[in-house]
C-alpha cells in the first residue's frame, strides 16, 4: 500500500515537472518565433533606420549589430528549446514508468 502511495506521489511530481517544462518550451518557442520574424524583417528591408524596444522607449540601433544580436539570441533559444525537449522526453518516460509501477502494484 505504501509503495502504491509513494508511486502516486512520484507520478504527481513528474506530471507537475512535465507541465512546467512544456510551458517553458512553449514560451521559448514563442520567443524564438518573434526573433525569427524580426530577423526576416531586417533581411527583407535592408534600408532605413531600425529601432530596438528598451522598456517603454524605442532606441535607434545599428542594423548590423542588431542583426548580430538577434542571431545570437536565436541560437541561444534554439539550444534552450532542444534542451527542454530532451528534458520533456525524459519526464514522459519517467511518467510512463511510474504509471506502469502503479498498474503493476494494483494487479499484484
CB 64 within 8 A of CB 11: no
**Model confidence, pTM:** 0.84
| Domains in the chain, CATH or no CATH each | 17-107 (1.10.287.370)
Q: pLDDT digit string (tens) for 53-63? A: 899 999 999 99
Q: What is the pLDDT of residues 67-106, one digit of tens each?
A: 999 999 999 999 999 999 999 999 999 999 998 888 887 7
- Packing angle between helix 2-44 and helix 63-107, nearest 10 degrees? 160
Element containing residue 108 per DSSP (H, E): none
Distance CA 72, CA 39 (A): 11
Q: Are 78 and 32 in contact (CB under 8 A)?
A: yes
Amino acid at each position: 500500500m505504501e509503495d502504491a502511495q509513494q508511486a502516486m506521489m512520484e507520478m504527481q511530481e513528474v506530471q507537475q515537472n512535465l507541465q512546467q517544462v512544456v510551458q517553458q518550451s512553449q514560451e521559448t518557442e514563442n520567443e524564438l518565433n518573434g526573433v525569427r520574424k524580426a530577423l526576416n524583417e531586417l533581411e527583407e528591408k535592408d534600408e532605413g533606420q531600425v529601432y530596438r524596444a528598451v522598456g517603454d522607449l524605442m532606441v535607434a540601433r545599428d542594423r548590423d549589430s542588431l542583426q548580430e544580436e538577434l542571431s545570437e539570441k536565436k541560437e541561444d533559444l534554439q539550444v534552450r528549446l532542444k534542451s527542454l525537449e530532451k528534458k520533456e522526453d525524459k519526464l514522459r518516460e519517467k511518467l510512463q514508468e511510474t504509471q506502469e509501477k502503479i498498474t503493476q502494484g494494483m494487479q499484484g
